[in-house]
Amino acid sequence: MKRYVVVGAGAAGLTLAYLLTKAGLPVTVIEKESEVGGLARTFHYDEWHFDIGPHRFYSPNPVVGNFLSEVMGDDFLEISRSSAVHFMGHYHSWPLRLETLPKLPLGIALRAGLDLLGKAARTSEGSVSFEDYVLRRYGRTLYQTFFRDYTEKFLGISASKTHQNWAKVGVERATIDEKVNTASLAEIFKLMLIPKPSDLKFLYPEREGVHAFWKRCAEKILSAGGEILTGKTPQRLETDPEGLSHVVLDDRTLDCEVLAWSGPIPELARMLHLPAPNLGYRSHVVYNVLLNSPPVHDYQWCYFGAKDLVFSRLSNPASFSPQTVPSGRGGLCLEIPCQEGDILWEDPARIRPQVLEDLLRVQAIRDQDQILSMKVERVRDAYPVYHVDYPERLDQAFADLQAFPNLHLLGRTGRFWYNNMDHSIENAFALAGELLEGMTQASDRARQVREELLTVCPPGTPEPEPAVARA
């Protein structure tokens, strides 16, 4: 029997597989890592559980909310946000609050204020670069003192070569709480005068990290008759005049009704002998630091923009759930951006002395003796790199891949989309609706799931916008 093949067992691939198996369709998920979860997986070391950076669920969409409780029941904690930024040698709460003002160096606060009162910095007409977008909206002082360095360190390309969508998604999300939509620096300053920023609640699995949710989802797929093959990747994709016909693995060949691909787009293009699109992803080396007592600060995560600090963000798993570390102990997850194949990727242990020095420098730990051990992990394709030309490159790749009608691109990596888990979930719901809609001889189960999907994603519901989303 022809199978619905899903490449990638991340949030998008697992949600799609969950919906299709629930509809009674034969589904095979192929995942190259040994664990499911994709970017939302968790590293476990005895009683310590470290996600890849900070990971929590939030969605205003009831469809996503229902899906979360269908899979996990009540086994979630409700948590608030508490994040920080390390800026010019000091910690500030983030989003900025009124009490931040006196802590900013006077010169910077004054110059940022003058930027605000004066005209927006002049930029080239029609420019779509990150640099020009931030200059126009936030002024030169904040651009030069924070946004430029953080972004260049994070993405590994110049801010003038980065597309403005990176700012639309990343900066504004990081700057403010979600209910408030800043249009300018003036609004951020106004926000700082609001005594208490909006206090959204997020969901987080009570035990074993964010991965607990995706593990539970995978178990439900298996018990509904789906198949999940971990540690596997397609060796070859075969085509016929109708589209994709077979997915060839090292030990078997799958007859393919539909292929949903949530891996990197260039890899798919190569397998289909199409021109490889110039779409790059940024990878991460992650240092998970096991501590004999809680870290100095209790924020959930903190951004570090300074280029001479090796990490871009620290997160504290115990501030998501106390059950992620043994009682009385602590942990810190350090994200260090890199390129797959560069020196850091190949030999992450080489920066260990600098990691230690920087942790002490920013006073994230009391002293070296607080560290029990440091575990190093590699995370491929953590972020799509929004080069200034990426919309055209992406359009071309999508156009080339349309030659295969039963091929669907899915999720963050598969759609080259700086998104969150809820967006990948919504994307999978929309695709499941489309696939079930197209079935001519639907079984009762498929019809029932299709009806459910129609109530949550009626025909014509736009797919989440790939390039700009709340992330």
Ligand X SMILES: Cc1cc2nc3c(=O)[nH]c(=O)nc-3n(C[C@H](O)[C@H](O)[C@H](O)COP(=O)(O)OP(=O)(O)OC[C@H]3O[C@@H](n4cnc5c(N)ncnc54)[C@H](O)[C@@H]3O)c2cc1C
Please give the residue ranges that form the binding site for ligand X (CB under 6 A): 7-13, 30-33, 38-40, 52-57, 233, 262-264, 267, 335, 382, 411-413, 419-422, 424
* Contact (CB, 8 A) for 164 and 207: no
Nearer CB in complex with ligand X: 139/280 = 280
* Contact (CB, 8 A) for 271 and 236: yes
Task: Return the structure tokens found at 26.
Answer: 């034969």
d(CA 390, CA 128): 11
Least CB distance from residue 437 to ligand X, whole Å?
A: 22
- Comparing CA positions, the residue from 302, 311, 303, 308 lying closest to residue 335 is 311
Least CB distance from residue 102 to ligand X, whole Å?
A: 30
Least CB distance from residue 126 to ligand X, whole Å?
A: 31
Nearer CB in complex with ligand X: 32/445 = 32
Residue 397's identity, in one-letter code, is: A
d(CA 329, CA 322): 10
Nearer CB in complex with ligand X: 298/357 = 298
d(CA 412, CA 12): 8
Nearer CB in complex with ligand X: 129/300 = 300
Least CB distance from residue 339 to ligand X, whole Å?
A: 15
What is the helix (H) or strand (E) element at residue 284, kind and residue range? Answer: strand 281-291
* Contact (CB, 8 A) for 370 and 293: yes
Nearer CB in complex with ligand X: 13/277 = 13
Least CB distance from residue 379 to ligand X, whole Å?
A: 7
Nearer CB in complex with ligand X: 16/362 = 16
C-alpha torsion sign, points 389, 395, 399, 401: positive
Task: Return the structure tokens found at 33.
Answer: 């890592």
Least CB distance from residue 103 to ligand X, whole Å?
A: 26
* Contact (CB, 8 A) for 7 and 30: yes
* Contact (CB, 8 A) for 200 and 177: yes
d(CA 79, CA 339): 33
Least CB distance from residue 376 to ligand X, whole Å?
A: 16
Nearer CB in complex with ligand X: 53/331 = 53
d(CA 426, CA 436): 15
Least CB distance from residue 170 to ligand X, whole Å?
A: 11
Nearer CB in complex with ligand X: 197/411 = 411
Helices (H), 42-94: 62-72
